[in-house]
Homo-oligomer: A and B are copies of this chain.
């Protein structure tokens, strides 16, 4: 694709054009070479880099100092992401059901699906159109999967699950395993049978090795547009609102109610039965133990400082009550 064509596609203006080269790859500003296009995320980088070898660069305003063909766009990063989709188109699904896929009784599979080798689909499953299921995925009975879903290798979906349109589930994720619940009898933990289900709405993405447990009797729900990173844990009966972001290693205990447009940063933990309002941001590693009202930022991150310095402070923290009594 020519630089001029890219500019047209991005609705951008060309500045300082050297030659209308063919662009064959998208690269970062550090690794770009002749034939590749890149973008400038931060003007400070220009001072740090000796040279930029890209054939073209996306910028938010023309830069006189650099002798590269520039395409001026409103948001260079977003323009770059859109360009990637154009330059690296997804392969079309070829309609195929592997003879090694084990398909149960009364399973419906829509048009143009790709069911790969060594997939197991149990009885009474319904699968929509354009669904792609990679090897070693297990889809439990009575599960319903809508259109344009991708299950990467080694995904496990226990029975009775609902998966909405355009959901992507990455490898090793486990959907609808039993909730972690026991009652006491004769000094022992007796398992509480979980007969509820998991509902994953449209446009949700679920990261690798994330686990989402089934509800006791009702539903664990991930609402549409929410994106979940790797190694996240979502307990039984949780409701996660629309368009929220759960970063890696977040853990949410049972029966929480998380609002929409919420961001829980990495390794945040949320205790059970907590309500978090809409548009809340919780900073990394926070432990949320009380309800959080909407439209605010909460956190208890302790940024690591030099250990020697922290040790001295720690001495005072651990005798704070004595010190103040004096």
Contacts and interface: CB of A to CB of B under 8 A. Distances in A.
Contact of A138 (B134, B185, B324): B134
Give the number of copies in the complex: 3
Count class of interface residues, chain A: 35 or more
A56 to B, nearest CB: 14
A51 interface: no
A60 interface: no
A7 to B, nearest CB: 19
Contact of A88 (B193, B209, B287): B193
Contact of A209 (B190, B209, B297): B209
B227 A253 contact: no
A24 B300 CA distance: 47
B211 A209 contact: yes
A306 interface: yes
A247 interface: yes
A269 B269 contact: no
Interface in A24-80: 25-28, 30-31, 77-78
A125 interface: no
A154 interface: yes
A227 B182 contact: yes
Nearest to A154: B156
A304 B317 contact: no
A229 interface: yes
B207 A177 contact: yes
Given A136-B138, A282-B304, A300-B305, A195 B120 contact: no
Interface in A278-323: 282-290, 292, 296-308, 310, 312-318, 320-321, 323
A189 B84 contact: no
Q: State the 10 A-B residue pairs at the shortest beta-carbon distance, nearest first.
A: A289-B303, A156-B171, A138-B153, A174-B208, A316-B320, A211-B230, A297-B307, A208-B211, A286-B304, A285-B287
Given A78-B183, A209-B231, 20 more contacts: A25-B217, A30-B218, A31-B217, A84-B195, A84-B217, A120-B136, A138-B153, A172-B172, A180-B227, A189-B225, A211-B230, A233-B249, A249-B249, A266-B271, A284-B289, A289-B301, A289-B304, A290-B304, A296-B307, A316-B321
